[in-house]
Amino acid sequence: MQNIFDEVGSLDRKCYEEFALSEDLLMEHAADGMADFIKSNYALGATVLVVCGGGNNGADGLALARILHKDYDVKLFMAKEAKSEMAKLQLLRAQKVDVSFVDQLFNAEIIVDAVLGTGFNGELSSELLQMLETLNNYKAVKIACDIPSGYKFNADYTLTMGGLKKSLFEDKVKDIVGEITVLDLGVAREIYETDSKIKLLDESDLQLPNRKKQNTHKGSYGHLAVVSGEKTGASVMSAQAAFRFGTALVTLLSNENIHAPYEIMQSHQLPQSASAIALGMGLGVEFSQSELERFVSNGHPLLLDADIFYHPLLSTLLGKKKVVITPHPKEFCEVLRECKIAEISVEELQQSRFEYAQLFSKHFPDVTLVLKGANVIISQGEQMFINPYGSNVLAKGGSGDVLAGLIAGLLAQGYAPLDAAISGSLAHTLLAKSYKGADFSLTPIDLIDGICKL
């Protein structure tokens, strides 16, 4: 896991005040880090166009141009006049070593966007937008200094200074930021950073339900009850996913007999040995409120998904302990509305996912939220985790049912809700990532079949 920060200015100030470092020193390390990245990946002599703004983002770019000059065919383009003190100083330094300046953009082999960084605010002028569009249309390798300017520069790589910024993980910029690398600024990251309540998950954070002891039996690995309504396909896929993911016993709770694999049991009553319940997938209106209340009256960990977000029982269920909910954005808007937290559109949610996830968790600190998206947000209380491995491969009916089964299966096996949410979500996205077929062709069964290879 890595820390993610709302801002890093306070971390810079810590360097000045506690480590006797200076803004100039941090900037030189930032520029050095970018130079090292380019030298490690691109042949000497390549043409490099560094486009600079007037602030310290531009100053980073000017310092980079000076460092690369002569080893690379570097050209500097000033999009705005140097304005900050550091930008003026870095401009002077670049001029003193005769770095070439150009007044026209051109299709260099490497383009570095050092126009706007964390100081960007408001809207981009049409002139700047036009310039960024011109750069986007070039075939060059595109590198964003710290953050892509105004999030309108389509970066292949974002080399971000000091620490990860939360804005880099909004869904709306997932196709903009490219591959993100953190550059150290003269001290190790663990010295530069403070602890943060927002963490970026890594594949290594997946805790598989591997079996350790031999002296066990099928009762040792949980019993998941999946409430199955009219649309049985959804609950059957959840049940299969849970079974594949180590849950030794899985029962479909239904009033009808369901066509399901032999290994999935069926019952009209909640099994005595049930250790978790999954509710919502394909629920429809088959069960009365009192039947559902009876199922959930025993304090078992609960996985809530899909139809239950539109059910009058939702608020009651959210008040229970050990609850994990797995809404997609549209369902989350319904949850926010139903719980009288916010009345927003999906577009408004997608513009401020972190804020609304935090708002929900403030209202329901014991509920673990898994907000689906390109970057999955997992939130519980004040803690927030970002799973950056979401992919468009999962944009298929049934993917969510599999996710529900993965998480519910881990709940049934005794995982704490947050651990079940993190590992279930990571397993889900890694299954999609390891899918070998065409990106449009994945089916939920492909995900389930891939579980044995995790």
Ligand X SMILES: NC(=O)C1=CN([C@@H]2O[C@H](COP(=O)(O)OP(=O)(O)OC[C@H]3O[C@@H](n4cnc5c(N)ncnc54)[C@H](OP(=O)(O)O)[C@@H]3O)[C@@H](O)[C@H]2O)[C@H](O)CC1
Binding site for ligand X (CB under 6 A): 8, 12, 26-27, 30, 53-58, 60, 83-84, 116-125, 128, 145-146, 161-162, 185
425 binds K ion (CB under 5 A): no
246 has binding-site annotation: no
Contact partner at residue 320 from ligand X, K ion, none, CB < 5 to 8 Å by partner kind: none
137 has binding-site annotation: no
| Binding mask of the shown chain, residues 125 to 144, with x at each position contacting K ion by CB under 5 A | -------------------x
CA–CA distance, 98 with 264 (Å, rounded to integer): 73
Piece of 114-122, 169-177, 262-270, 292-300 that binds K ion (CB under 5 A): 114-122
61 has binding-site annotation: no
121 has binding-site annotation: yes
54 has binding-site annotation: no
Q: Are 192 and 185 in contact (CB under 8 A)?
A: yes
366 has binding-site annotation: no
Residue 68: helix, strand or coil by DSSP? helix
57 has binding-site annotation: yes
At closest approach, how far in Å is the CB of 165 from ligand X? 8
- Neighbouring-strand partners of residue 161: 183
CA–CA distance, 240 with 448 (Å, rounded to integer): 7
Quote the distance between the C-alpha of residue 184 and its chain's center.
22
At closest approach, how far in Å is the CB of 356 from ligand X? 25
Of the pair 144, 224, the CB lying nearest ligand X is at 144
- Neighbouring-strand partners of residue 200: 2, 386
Task: Tell me the C-alpha to C-alpha distance, in Å, between residue 277 and each of 328, 339, 446.
Answer: 20, 22, 24
Of the pair 28, 171, the CB lying nearest ligand X is at 28
Contact partner at residue 113 from ligand X, K ion, none, CB < 5 to 8 Å by partner kind: K ion
56 has binding-site annotation: yes
Piece of 4-12, 16-24, 50-58, 301-309 that binds K ion (CB under 5 A): 50-58
145 binds K ion (CB under 5 A): yes
274 binds K ion (CB under 5 A): no
For 180, what's the count of Cα atoms within 13 Å in the CB-facing half-sphere?
Answer: 24
At closest approach, how far in Å is the CB of 350 from ligand X? 22
CA–CA distance, 65 with 59 (Å, rounded to integer): 10
Of the pair 30, 448, the CB lying nearest ligand X is at 30
At closest approach, how far in Å is the CB of 53 from K ion? 8
282 has binding-site annotation: yes
Concatenate the DSSP letters of all residues of 184-243 into one string: P-SS-HHHH----SEEE--GGG--------SS--GGGG-EEEEE--S-HHHHHHHHHHHH
119 has binding-site annotation: yes
Contact partner at residue 149 from K ion, ligand X, none, CB < 5 to 8 Å by partner kind: K ion
Of the pair 122, 312, the CB lying nearest ligand X is at 122
CA–CA distance, 398 with 404 (Å, rounded to integer): 10
At closest approach, how far in Å is the CB of 58 from K ion? 9
- The residue from 149, 154, 240, 326 that contacts K ion (CB under 5 A) is 149
At closest approach, how far in Å is the CB of 114 from ligand X? 7
Q: What does the radius of gyration of the chain's CA atoms come to, in whole angstroms?
A: 26
Q: Are 55 and 117 in contact (CB under 8 A)?
A: yes
Structural tokens at position 429: 């996205």
At closest approach, how far in Å is the CB of 347 from ligand X? 22
Task: Tell me the C-alpha to C-alpha distance, in Å, between residue 144 and each of 118, 150, 204, 398.
Answer: 12, 11, 27, 37
Quote the distance between the C-alpha of residue 78 and its chain's center.
34
Which one-letter amino acid corresponds to residue 156? Answer: D
Q: Are 425 and 374 in contact (CB under 8 A)?
A: no
At closest approach, how far in Å is the CB of 84 from ligand X? 5
Which segments are annotated as binding site for AMP?
A: 400
Q: Give the interface with K ion as residue ranges (CB under 5 A).
A: 57, 113, 117, 144-145, 149
Which segments are annotated as binding site?
A: 56-60, 113, 117-123, 146, 149, 234, 282, 328, 400-401
